[in-house]
Structures are given as C-alpha cells and as structure tokens.
Chains A and B, each alone.
Chain A
C-alpha cells in the first residue's frame, strides 16, 4: 500500500484568501484524486489529477475555484481559492490503483 502525506494537517483561514494543500506519495502513481469531506456528508470527489495532463473535474467543481497541479508522479497540490465559510471541510488526496484506493490523512480547513 502507498504511504501518503498531506500538508498542512489543518489551517484556519480568512474568507477571500487562498490555501494550497500538498499531497506527497512514497511511490510513483499514475492517478491521484482529491476528495472533500464536509460535516455529515459523504466523501465527494473534486477532481482526478493525472501527471502531464489537465485535471478532470467533477460536476459542481471548477478549475478557477480548485486549481490542481501534478508536476510529477509522486506529488500534487490542490488550491482552494477565494475561500468562503462554505469551504470549511476536510480535503483528502487519494491514489490508486483503481481496485485499491488509499487515502492521505486529510487537511482540515476552517474558513472564518
């Protein structure tokens, strides 16, 4: 199984600002995924990030709000832009292969 780390583990941000979350994997992976876990809600996929191509966003999520970078096979970033209190959530990265997806520890974001 892959070992995944995320930075920061938590942050408190003011509305209107942006936060970049980093995801580092201990092995090379083709696909990385970014999920959001809001209180009382299901884990929801934001986008899929493949190295060397543009990220693919799910319905309801747009690149201007959640830009993603995937510079190599072990690293990705998710930026939450122009934040509002509704963005308060846990953000998790995940890696394949498809039949076994492993998750990082998450980044707990609070927007005030």
Chain B
C-alpha cells in the first residue's frame, strides 16, 4: 500500500530561521511527488511537482528536493506570511492520476 509520512507534524520558527520539512514515501513506483501549501479555510495551493531522484525546484524562499525515499521542502529565511500547512502527495505509476497525501506539516513563523 502506498504511504506518505510527513514530519514534523508542527514546526515553529522565528522569522529568518531557515529549516526543512520532510516527506518520506513508500510506493510501488513513483510517477511524481507533489508539494502543496494550504491556508486555513482554503483549498491546497499547488507549489511543485518532482519526478526523479536528484531533481530540485525553487519558488521564492522554498526549495524542494527529491531522493528515492523522501523529499525535503527547504524554507530559507522564512517570513510570517509563509505560515501555512504544507502537504506532500505522491502519484504512482500505473495510469491513475490519483494523489496519495500525507497529513501535512503545520508551519508557524513568528515575527
């Protein structure tokens, strides 16, 4: 069974304090790994899709990396507006477009 585990469940940072969120996965065959940001009361906002080990993608203060077993979302010099829940999801080979999600990491950045 495909599984996605995110850690930590919650993370508090001071503004400017860089850190990383982890997403480990167990799948039969990875087609893509997705990162989303979700603000309270809103739907998930698409950030990145990674496809193969060694791939990296960046957007503003966020950088996502992928290995064969896990992905990291690095947050550099975060600001309070980066506070949100970050979701990781995998899409497996086999033709289905289905995404399997982790439970998310709730990030709080204090000013």
Contact = CB atoms under 8 A, between A and B. Distances in A.
Contacts, number: 57
Contacts of B105: none
Nearest to B91: A98
B102 to A, nearest CB: 6
Q: Which of A43, A44, A102, A104 has the most CB of B within 10 A?
A: A43
Contacts of B49: 99-100
Nearest to B104: A42
Contact of B98 (A1, A4, A45, A102): A45
Interface residues of A, number: 25
A42 B87 CA distance: 9
B97 interface: yes
Contacts of B46: 1, 100-103
Contacts of B34: 101
Interface of A: 1, 4, 31, 33, 40-45, 48, 58, 92, 94, 96, 98-106, 108
17 contacts: A4-B43, A31-B97, A41-B103, A42-B103, A42-B104, A92-B43, A98-B97, A100-B49, A101-B34, A101-B46, A101-B99, A103-B46, A105-B41, A105-B43, A106-B42, A106-B43, A108-B41
Interface of B: 4, 31-32, 34, 36, 41-46, 49, 87, 89, 91, 96-104
